[in-house]
Amino acid sequence: MQINLIEQYQQVRNQSIQLSAPLSSADMCIQSMADASPTRWHLAHTSWFFETVILKNHLTEYTPVNSDYNYLFNSYYNGIGNQFPRAQRGTQTRPSIEEIMDYRKTIDQQMLKLLDGEFSDQVNFLTQLGLHHEQQHQELMLTDIKHAFSLNPTYPQYQPSTEQTQQQAERLSWLSVDESVYQIGHMGSTFCYDNELPMHNAYVYPCKIASRLITNQEYQAFVHDKGYHTATLWLSDGWDWCRNISKHHPLYWLRKDDQWFEFTLNGLQPLQPHQPVTHINYYEAEAFARWAGKRLPTEYEWEVAARQYGAQTGNFVNSGKLHPQISADTQFLGDCWEWTSSSYSAYPGYKPFAGAVGEYNGKFMCNQYVLRGGSCATPEDHIRFSYRNFFYPHQRWQFTGIRLAEDD
């Protein structure tokens, strides 16, 4: 058990370094909008998390690396202390990248010292939490640098293109979910976040869920049908959002010489018609569903269908393909996070994690929507059927897409 945890620790921590390897020191300091953070901040904050919730409390005679870091690298934990303003993270170049890398090394040495001896169940749990937390930030490292690079008119590549065979999208079919009471939430004793618990019963009415995500080509039909200019398709808040954007298409699409392109982590590429449409916000997903005469699934419908029909897919990050691809298999996990129509709220009997990490999930249960499934930028072992991601309805810089549903 201890060896496994040490190996897991080293693998996850090393993966963050690997993901930052293609970036220059200047790249690592950039913050392109308030929602995104610089790579250097992600690398430091994830280390601060281990230092603050584990080392300071569980390693005897531990001395913090730098007393300023608690303010600079605390994200949102009010119980721990004040935070440097999120929107200004990109104004900082010190501590330098080298100092942050040294900080990571010191934290790793101290964590491995702790994990090499006898440690409590609480240290075991908090270490796993720290690793899953770091995996969340690994996805953000990719989506945040993608956003920053997208604003550069030279369209830099995070990594060079790889040869990709263009597959036809499978025919969209409809998967039936029977009316019944189902168990929802995390099952078993493996790690999960507090918001996936407790497992509970939920009544689901008969419905059908699409066998795959909506493709670029299908979304193009919505764009060309003046979807972004038809008020009746949009929620009121969505229409307000729509009227305030200048480009009426998905975030990274670009029209050039009468042809559609898409900005990807491999730079600007011709839009691939059969790949899932991505970087869609809740308003766009909802409007598209209405235009198509369908709706978005609830998170309960999604989870029931995924457990019944879903098959886990590989992690495209590790295979070097950083853009979602269609698989021939029916899949629910691994291309794009999928918007559901469910507001992000507590399951019946929900209890936040104890202590300072109680602020991890619960306090965000207001005005956000649940996304399910995981994306091509999510580490593979961070994906599970019960996972509940959540974002505000206007946000679209994550790899987010559309799976339709309908009443049966």
What are the residues binding Fe ion (CB under 5 A)? Answer: 75
Q: How many CB atoms lie within 10 A of CB 266?
A: 18
CB of 139 to Fe ion, least distance (A): 11
CB of 45 to Fe ion, least distance (A): 6
CB of 140 to Fe ion, least distance (A): 8
CB of 136 to Fe ion, least distance (A): 7
Of the two residues 16 and 75, which places its CB atom closer to Fe ion in the complex? Answer: 75
Of the two residues 261 and 364, which places its CB atom closer to Fe ion in the complex? Answer: 364
Tell me which residue has its CB nearest to Fe ion.
75
Q: How many CB atoms lie within 10 A of CB 320?
A: 11
DSSP, residue by residue, 263-308 = EETTEEEE--TTSBP-S--HHHHHHHHHHTT-BPPPHHHHHHHHHH
Of the two residues 75 and 341, which places its CB atom closer to Fe ion in the complex? Answer: 75
* Beta-bridge mates of residue 200: 184
DSSP, residue by residue, 218-253 = HHHHHHHTTGGG-GGGS-HHHHHHHHT-SS-S-TTE
Q: How many CB atoms lie within 10 A of CB 84?
A: 15
Of the two residues 47 and 281, which places its CB atom closer to Fe ion in the complex? Answer: 47
The amino acid sitting at 128 is Q
CB of 133 to Fe ion, least distance (A): 6
Of the two residues 75 and 340, which places its CB atom closer to Fe ion in the complex? Answer: 75
Strands 400-401 and 337-343: parallel
Q: How far is Cα 104 from Cα 152, in angstroms, rounded to an integer?
A: 30
Of the two residues 75 and 378, which places its CB atom closer to Fe ion in the complex? Answer: 75
CB of 360 to Fe ion, least distance (A): 8
